[in-house]
């Protein structure tokens, strides 16, 4: 799949089919993540692939608990956005998706958070290229993942990425983006670049 096409056709997916995903595709996704650039080439990312139903349920319960606080203290505009998007405290995707990839970063590496998110971008694009949907989901707090998955404390979990085939409804969702003109400037902030 062409790279620009992958970027422009990808959308965040919150509903998954229970269809089996070939393991080969999961390997491709993980392999892509590994090629991200990183601060001092420290490659601070670690991936934990989860397909255990029991673990998925434990993660979902804890994530929903962590998000409750986040949702309740969210500003009004964000609460409204959640409502408009149909985003509730039920994180179905954490148990519906056949695979979850938990991504953690080694917090002692320079620019570990930035590097780890580049790696996440690589994986979600590789998934798209493999015909699979993803979501970059970060619960309101993530330390419960250290406990559940035995992740050492110097690694900070930053995202749970569900991987699977999107539901039909999710495929149809529209995506909105600001125009290039709104976000791009020339030599000074505020000076137009795009006509």
Residue numbers of the site for a copy of itself (CB under 8 A)?
A: 1-4, 6-8, 10, 12, 27-28, 30-32, 34-37, 40-41, 43, 45-52, 55, 78, 81, 104, 110-111, 113-114, 117-118, 120-122, 124-126, 128-129, 136, 138, 149-152, 155, 158-159, 176-178, 180, 183-190, 193-194
In sequence order, which ranges of 48-130 are alpha helices (DSSP H)?
Answer: 53-72, 76-84, 93-96, 112-129
What is the smallest separation between the CB atom of 116 and a copy of itself, expressed in angstroms? 9
What is the smallest separation between the CB atom of 96 and a copy of itself, expressed in angstroms? 18
Own/partner contacts of 54-58, CB < 8 Å, gap of 24 or more, are 55/148, 55/149, 56/94, 56/95, 56/100, 57/95, 58/148
Contact 37, 107 (CB under 8 A): no
Contact 161, 137 (CB under 8 A): yes
What is the smallest separation between the CB atom of 179 and a copy of itself, expressed in angstroms? 8
What is the smallest separation between the CB atom of 12 and a copy of itself, expressed in angstroms? 5
How many Cα atoms sit within 13 Å of 45 on the Cβ side?
32
Residue closer to a copy of itself by CB (options 32, 160) is 32
């Amino acid at each position: 799949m062409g790279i620009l096409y992958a970027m422009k056709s990808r959308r965040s997916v919150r509903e998954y089919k229970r269809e089996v995903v070939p393991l080969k595709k999961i390997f491709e996704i993980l392999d892509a993540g590994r090629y991200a650039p990183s601060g001092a080439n420290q490659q601070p990312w670690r991936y934990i692939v989860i397909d255990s139903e029991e673990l998925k349920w434990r993660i979902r319960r804890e994530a929903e608990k962590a998000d409750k606080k986040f949702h309740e203290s969210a500003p009004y505009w964000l609460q409204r956005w959640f409502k408009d998007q149909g985003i509730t405290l039920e994180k179905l995707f954490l148990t519906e998706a056949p695979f979850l990839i938990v991504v953690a970063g080694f917090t002692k590496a320079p620019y570990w958070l930035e590097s780890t998110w580049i790696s996440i971008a690589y994986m979600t694009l590789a998934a798209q290229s493999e015909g699979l949907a993803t979501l970059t989901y970060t619960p309101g707090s993530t330390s419960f993942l250290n406990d559940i998955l035995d992740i050492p404390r110097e690694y900070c979990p930053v995202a749970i990425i569900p991987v699977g085939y999107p539901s039909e409804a999710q495929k149809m969702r529209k995506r909105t983006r600001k125009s290039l003109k709104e976000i791009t400037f020339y030599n000074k902030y505020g000076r137009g670049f795009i006509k």
